[in-house]
Structures are given as structure tokens and as C-alpha cells.
Amino acid sequence: MHPFFRAMVCAVPVLTSSLITVPVSAQAGPPPQGPPNISASAVGEAQIVPDRAMLNVAVESQGQSAAAAAAANAAKQTRVIDAIKAAGVAAAQIRTSGYNVFPEYAQQSGQGPRVTGYRANNTVQIEVRSIDAVGKVIDAALGAGATNLGALSLFASNPDPARREALQKAVAKARADAEAVATAAGGTLGALVELVVDPFNEPRPLMQQSMGRVAMAASTPIEPGELSVQAMVRVRWEFVPKR
């Protein structure tokens, strides 16, 4: 046989082997998929009655000098704080949240402003641990000489029971929605695959309007109302088709 033909015969098996080997590895498919899932998210809500309050009480005083305004303010604020304590608020529930002394000016025709006196302001923040005592504390502060009452906020000291109730409602709502979807798709819910509870946000305090610098009658009424507590969940189940 001619040498050229012998070379062609020897080359055929190598080429064939190469053609067979490459397609076999390329035909390997993706791993098998798991069962189909149904996901649902829902928000649950529960109500809670506030049981505590925060209140800012301020005293303003005037004087011809900064020292005189500060001294008058200190004496008056001391009486206010003593009255608040006598109304049942512990010292640990009272803290100074602001203090300033500043000049007051008057404009003069053809001249620059001149100082006419000084004003001192001392503000304390009070935590009242009983809603029923809030009106009594307000009356005591005003009666002792408080000149400004800041916005009153009502809040709950223990929102956990309401939060758990909201979580239960959220999960029940998510399951009801998922069951409706499963039924419409011709199947049922299978095993629980995933349940995620979104971060919990404390309920926002109820804010009352500022009481300003007005004198208030005795027995100030305070209505607590309700706070809304919300919880959100995301849940996933296996979908089981009917056979």
C-alpha cells in the first residue's frame, strides 16, 4: 500500500475518538429542580393602650442682668420640680433637657439695637409612669409656676404582647393567601420552607399638641387612646399538585 494511504488509515481512529468524547461531556444537563414553591408576605396589626407619658416642662424668667434672670429662673424651676416630685414623680424620672440665658433687644431709631434685659429658660423632661397621673403632674407644674408645657407623648412600656399578637395575625394571613393561590393552581400547600420576620419597629408615640404658655384648669383630662403595633412576615411553602 502506498505510504499516503497507510497514514490516512492510522489517523481515522484518533479523530473518531475525539468526535465521540467531546459531545458526551457537553450533554451533561442541569441538576434536577426541587418542587415548586408558593411565597406570601403579610402584615399583622394589634392595638395597645399607652401606659406612660413624656412631657417637657419649662420655666422662663426675665431680669435686668443675666445673673438676675438666671437666679429668678433657678428659684422658680426648683419650686416646679419640687411640686412634680410631690405629685408622685421620682427624681430618676426628671432630667434637664435644655437651659439657656440670652439677651433681649430693642430697636432704636437711627441707632443699633440695645439690650433691654435678659431671659433665662430651663426645660426638664418628665417621664410619668401612669397615664392616670399625667393630669395631676401637669396641674402641679403649672400651679408651681411653669410657663411652658411641651408636646405630650404617650407610649407603651411593654409592646411585646401586642407585637406577638401582630405576628400571629401576619402568619395566619400569609398562610390564608398562600392556600388560596395553591387551590387556584390545583394543589395544596406542602411543608414550610422559609419564614422570615422583618425587623420590628417600636410603635410611634401618640403626640398631643403643645400646651404652650396657657394656664390650665385643675384636673386636666388625658385620654390615652390606642397605639397600633405592626409586624410583617415573608413565608414560603412547597406546592403539592393534586394527582
Chain mean position to CA 122:
29
Q: What confidence tier does 163 reach under pLDDT thresholds 50, 70, 90?
A: very high
User: Residue 206: is its pLDDT beyond 70?
Assistant: no
pLDDT of 102:
93
Strand segments (E) across the chain: 37-48, 52-63, 94-108, 111-128, 148-149, 153-155, 187-197, 206-207, 227-241
- Which band of pLDDT confidence, cut at 50, 70 and 90, is reported for residue 28? low
User: What pLDDT, on the 0 to 100 scale, is given for residue 224?
Assistant: 84
Q: Find the mean pLDDT for residues 122-146.
A: 94
Question: What is d(CA 90, CA 199) in angstroms, rounded to the nearest whole number?
Answer: 34
How high is the pLDDT of residue 17? 29
Domain boundaries, the chain: 37-47+161-200+232-241, 51-155
pLDDT at 221: 82
| 118 against 224, higher pLDDT | 118
User: 178, 38 in Cβ contact below 8 A?
Assistant: yes
How would residue 203 be classed by pLDDT, with cut points 50, 70 and 90? low
Interval 4-24 mean pLDDT: 34
Per-residue confidence (pLDDT) for residue 112, from 0 to 100 = 76
**pLDDT > 70? residue 20:** no
pLDDT (mean) for 166-190: 96
Q: pLDDT digits over 31-88, tens only?
A: 556 779 999 999 999 999 999 999 999 999 999 999 999 999 999 999 999 999 999 9
Q: To the nearest whole number, what is the mean pLDDT of the chain?
A: 82
**How far apart are the C-alpha atoms of 65 and 71, rounded to whole Å?**
10
- Partner residues linked to 216 by β-bridges: none
Judge whether residue 155 has pLDDT over 60: yes
Q: Rounded to the nearest 5 degrees, what angle is found at the Cα of 185, between the Cα atoms of 179 and 187?
A: 65
What is the model's pLDDT at position 29? 54
User: What does the alpha-carbon distance between residue 146 and residue 82 come to, in Å, rounded to a whole number?
Assistant: 12
Provide the pLDDT for residue 113.
83
51-155, CATH topology level: Alpha-Beta Plaits (3.30.70)
Residue 130 has pLDDT above 60, yes or no: yes
Residues 6+ apart with CB under 8 A from 15: none
Rg of the chain (C-alpha set) = 38
Burial of 48 (0-12, 13-18, 19+ CB in 10 A): buried
% residues pLDDT > 90 (the chain):
64
Above 90 in pLDDT, residue 199? no
